[in-house]
Amino acid sequence: MAFPVTRLRRLRRTEALRDLVRETRLTPDSFVYPMFVCPGEGVRKEVRSMPGVFNLSVDEALKEARDAFSLGVRSVILFGVPDKKDEVATGAWEDDGIVQRATRALKRELPKLIVMGDVCLCEYMSHGHCGVVKAGPQSLGAAARDAMNAVRVVAVRNSKEKAKAIEAAAAPLVTHASRIEFEILNDPTLELLAKTSVSLTRAGIDIIAPSDMMDGRVAAIRRALDDAGYINTPILSYAAKFASGFYGPFREAADSAPQFGDRRSYQMDGANLREAMREIEADIEEGADMIMVKPAMPYLDVIAAARERFDVPLAAYQVSGEYAMIEAAARNNWIERDRVMMESLLSIRRAGASIILTYYAKNAARLLA
Ligand SMILES: [Zn+2]
């Protein structure tokens, strides 16, 4: 039936009609609110590149979670910002680690709140990588960088042009050295991830969410949880996590930027949709109860393809850079924050994610109330 019989505008005439025929709806109980917990008391430190997002001490995290819960947001995911880091990520798996402490406090005060634990090592490693690194910090790349910095200081005293020339000459060396200097070891990392997962579950974490992108981590974590008697703790795996420039602000929030190299040897290449399906399939086979695609907005096609192909609950992470872009534009009055926020969340939902991790959880829930 074509025009003039069919008139699609008929169902758009009034707000009630539009509400009636709406295909996709957002609800606060599908939001997961990410929180960064740090040591101390009364700490509420705003992340420079994520206005409205804070590093929170346990007491402040409690207030924030209570606030979210009262708005209908019933899940949070915790990231730790520890005061010390080392080469074996002790802060991730020790029983009085910052996330473990925050979890005990949250579960005591808000037993019905779902507390998810992000499982990764980068926040707790002195080098900022998600796994165990082969090669010391004084490797070739670091040495080359030190040398270049020294040269730069000397050169700046002479002339700016000279400094530029020297930098340009040294840059390829640093790039090259950074590429060959280290390796992120897969299998030794699994042991630490498993240990972290058990420790977090012991502290009261309800859902374990590994985000490291090592091969075989889901199986290793499932085995360790089962061996420790935690057969009912679900795993939400960051199954398709892409190496993305959109993580920039998060690295400031979690103080987890790699000190050398990048994460492209373990996080996925943004060009690969079929490989994303293989990653997801592998995680489900290893025992993942739920899967996640991250980031969300630049990978909506991956979310849609995953929804089409797999029947497990599907989550998507609206990451720091997505949030920061909307905030920056809104703060300049270039866009309407609320409208763009809701439209971005709706697009993720429409693509097929039923669970959305978002820094806007509270703001969006407030609008939906
Ligand atoms: Zn990591």
Tens digits of per-residue pLDDT, 349-360? 999 999 999 999
285 or 174: whose pLDDT is higher? 285
**Residues of the chain above pLDDT 90, percent:** 83
For residues 30 and 164, the model is more confident at 30
Half-sphere exposure of residue 81: CA atoms within 13 angstroms, side-chain side: 24
Q: Output the average pLDDT for the chain.
A: 93
Active site residue 107: no
Beta pairing, strands 50-56 & 31-37: parallel
CA distances from 317 to 120, 132, 167, 204, 348 (A): 16, 25, 38, 23, 9
| Cβ pair 279, 309 in contact under 8 A | no
Ligand 1 mean position to 59 CA, how many Å?
Answer: 25
pLDDT, tens only, 62-73: 999 999 999 999
Chain centroid to Cα 250, Å, comes to 7
Q: Catalytic annotation on 63?
A: no
Stronger pLDDT, 183 or 318, i.e. the higher one: 318
Range in 170-184, 204-218, 268-282 the model is least confident about: 170-184
Contact 80, 120 (CB under 8 A): no
| pLDDT tens digits for range 118-169 | 999 999 999 999 999 987 545 555 666 666 676 666 666 667 777 777 777 7
Tell me, what DSSP letter sits at residue 232? T
- DSSP 8-state code for residue 318: E
pLDDT at 140: 57
Residue 366, pLDDT above cutoff 90? yes
pLDDT of residue 138: 52
Q: What whole-number distance in Å separates Cα of residue 326 and Cα of residue 335?
A: 8
Cα(132) to centroid(ligand 1), Å: 11
In this predicted structure, what is the pLDDT of residue 97? 97
Say if residue 218 is exposed, middle or buried (CB neighbours under 10 Å; 0-12, 13-18, 19+).
buried
> Which of the residues 85, 195, 294, 362 is marked catalytic?
294
364: left (phi over 0), alpha (psi -120 to 50) or beta: alpha
Residue 217 Cα to ligand 1 midpoint, Å, equals: 13
Which pLDDT score is estimated for 137?
46
pLDDT at position 44 is 98
**pLDDT at residue number 142:** 63
